[in-house]
Amino acid sequence: MSPHPTAPAVSIVTKVRNADPALFAATARSVAAQTFTDFEWVVVESPPHGNVAEVLAATGLPRVQHVQLPALDTLAAGRNAAVAASRGALVAILDADDECAPDRLQRQTGFLAAHPQVDVLGGALEVIDEAGHRLGYRSYPTEHETILRTMRRHNAIAQPAVMLRRTAFDAVGGYRDYGEGACEDYELWSRMLRAGHRFANLAEVVLRYRVHGAANKAQRLRATLRDTLAVKRDYWRGEFTFGDHLRALGERLLLHTPARWVTRGFLRTTLRQTPLEGRR
């Protein structure tokens, strides 16, 4: 699986550690099924190393890079390593337990070609459980101005559904080791927005987002809440409304709530049971 000499239009980048073989195989099948084919897939794996190489070889994809890191790293550092090893002008982020919609790359490259002012593009999610059963749909604001207003309340961009321009990522220095390392995406998007980069979300579903107990944020829920509050303090507090202060207070109270209750409540309040118009 040596690099192809010609740089691809898109680099899919994935950070892996202790990948579940079945879930990662489903992720790999979704990459192999893309209707847009001018891409490479860069997978950076932290130890302990598992069967990632075998799964990647089974895809038959011509442009795959598998980088095995010699030591444990932070999630931010691993994601930066994946981007650094890639070559595409557009970078599509994908986690090792999620699945791309077949037309994800085609939709996102088409949108970015038609909207050169947009640097970061996300999309809607179909949320699934460990077995692949649909739990519901989650959509995000589509316009830059609405995304900007929403970010002071919550992260309005789903990281594993993002495609972004390498030049914009490099301009802000990529991911940072921030707080407890649980919200590297929220911090990066906030920093990019403050630097003047423009964002958008597709209304269509571009990713099947898997919720399961072994997922990083499920295991580190309280760290995620603390880092979320830190991002708001560092980037958005100066624009808080009374309602934003109340929301932050509620998030502090969630730190003392059983994690399974928080997860259930989040899913119940954020998911729709039917997709919005056009989200197929």
Catalogue all structural domains in the chain, each as residue range(s) with its CATH number. 10-212 (3.90.550.10)
pTM across the whole model: 0.92
Question: How would you classify the pairing of strands 199-210 and 120-128?
Answer: parallel
Digit-coded pLDDT (tens) for 127-155: 999 999 999 999 999 999 999 999 999 99
Residue 166: the pLDDT is: 98
* pLDDT on residue 219: 53
Which tens digit of pLDDT belongs to each residue from 58-89? 999 999 999 999 888 899 999 999 999 999 99
Distance between alpha carbon 267 and the CA centroid of its chain, in Å? 17
| Contact between 48 and 114 (Cβ < 8 Å) | no
pLDDT of residue 154: 95
Q: What residue ranges of the chain have pLDDT lower than 50?
A: 1-3, 277-280
H helix count then E strand count, the chain: 11, 9
Residue 66's beta-bridge partner residues?
Answer: 43
d(CA 275, CA 103): 17
φ and ψ of 220, to 5 deg: -125, 45
Backbone angles phi, psi at 241, to 5 degrees: -95, 175
